[in-house]
């Protein structure tokens, strides 16, 4: 769990979560896997929830944004992959406006997401964006 600003969580992030549920409900989709990652921009000030001076000394950092990577396995055996990067703020547009290359997201986060999902390098997959995105 990571803290999200209400305008983000109740706005574009909700739209993206609804789109993933719609994708999962499609008859030709066997399974949908989702990876979520918070990110911090260390050149920006970090907001915290809580007070470091309270009796527990706890302050929870609020991420500057989130990455969501969605891997869909189709009954035909094909796999499709989409990755989104969004700031933790009220956003305009549609989730598809925030699509980024999965490799770029991995470089930003510092790790690989799906490289072992099907025994080959997932970066070779071409981006095929459903109409919902």
Q: What is the pLDDT of residues 101-115, one digit of tens each?
A: 999 999 999 988 887
Number of domains forming the structure of the chain:
1
66 class by beta-carbon count within 10 Å (0-12 exposed, 13-18 middle, 19+ buried)? buried
- Asked if the model's pLDDT at residue 127 lies above 60, the reply is no
53: which 2 tokens?
């001076």
Distance CA 3, CA 75 (A): 35
42 in a structural domain: yes
10-14, 32-36, 39-43, 129-133: least confidently modelled range: 129-133
23 in a structural domain: yes
69-93 mean pLDDT: 93
pLDDT band at 53 (very low <50, low <70, confident <90, very high): low
What is the domain range of residue 107?
A: 6-124
């Amino acid at each position: 769990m990571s803290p999200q600003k209400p305008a983000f969580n109740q706005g574009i992030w909700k739209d993206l979560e609804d789109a993933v549920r719609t994708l999962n409900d499609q008859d030709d989709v066997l399974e949908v896997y989702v990876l979520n990652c918070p990110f911090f921009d260390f050149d920006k000030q970090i907001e915290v929830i809580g007070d470091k001076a309270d009796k527990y000394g706890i302050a929870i950092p609020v991420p500057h944004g989130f990455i969501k990577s969605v891997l869909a396995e189709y009954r035909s055996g094909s796999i499709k992959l989409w990755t989104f990067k969004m700031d933790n703020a009220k956003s305009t547009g549609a989730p598809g406006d925030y699509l980024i290359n999965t490799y770029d997201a991995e470089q930003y986060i510092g790790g690989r997401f799906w490289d072992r999902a099907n025994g080959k390098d997932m970066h070779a997959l071409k981006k095929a964006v459903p109409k919902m995105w």
